[in-house]
Amino acid sequence: PMRTGWAAFKFALAGFILPYMFIFYPSLLLIGNLSEILLATIPAIVGIFLLSIGIVGFYKKEIGWFGRGLLIIGAILLIHPEWTTSLIGIGLGGLVLVPQYKRGKSLPLESEIQGQRRS
């Protein structure tokens, strides 16, 4: 039961953060003009993406504790509505994710592995 609870917590944590982002970015509630809404939505999406990857610890391959920490710090920096913190947060996320993206393919799906065995 506890293992299932922790797994659910890891997947839901990014959703718990979103309501607090409304405080920093009222434009996420679609209040304001289009440019304000876009400038609030992009860091929010990237921040939730980084937080999810940092908590789960997997992007294309498994991410070590140091990389996970950098992703979580980057996600936290993206929550604060300043350009400097947003750029640092995106930079930290890129520092971890770009090398993984360039290294190659992700791990195969379980169904792909089973299909190869049957052939």
* CB-facing half-sphere around the CA of 26: CA atoms within 13 A: 3
Helix (DSSP H) and strand (DSSP E) numbers for the chain: 5, 0
User: How many whole angstroms separate alpha carbon 28 and alpha carbon 36?
Assistant: 9
- How many angstroms separate the CA atoms of 74 and 92, rounded? 5
**pLDDT recorded at residue 15:** 80
pLDDT block averages, 10 residues each, the chain of length 119: 84 82 87 89 89 87 90 90 88 90 67 61
pLDDT at 91: 93
Say how far apart CA 13 and CA 67 lie, in whole Å.
Answer: 18
Say if residues 78 and 47 touch (Cβ distance below 8 Å). yes
CB 79 within 8 A of CB 28: no
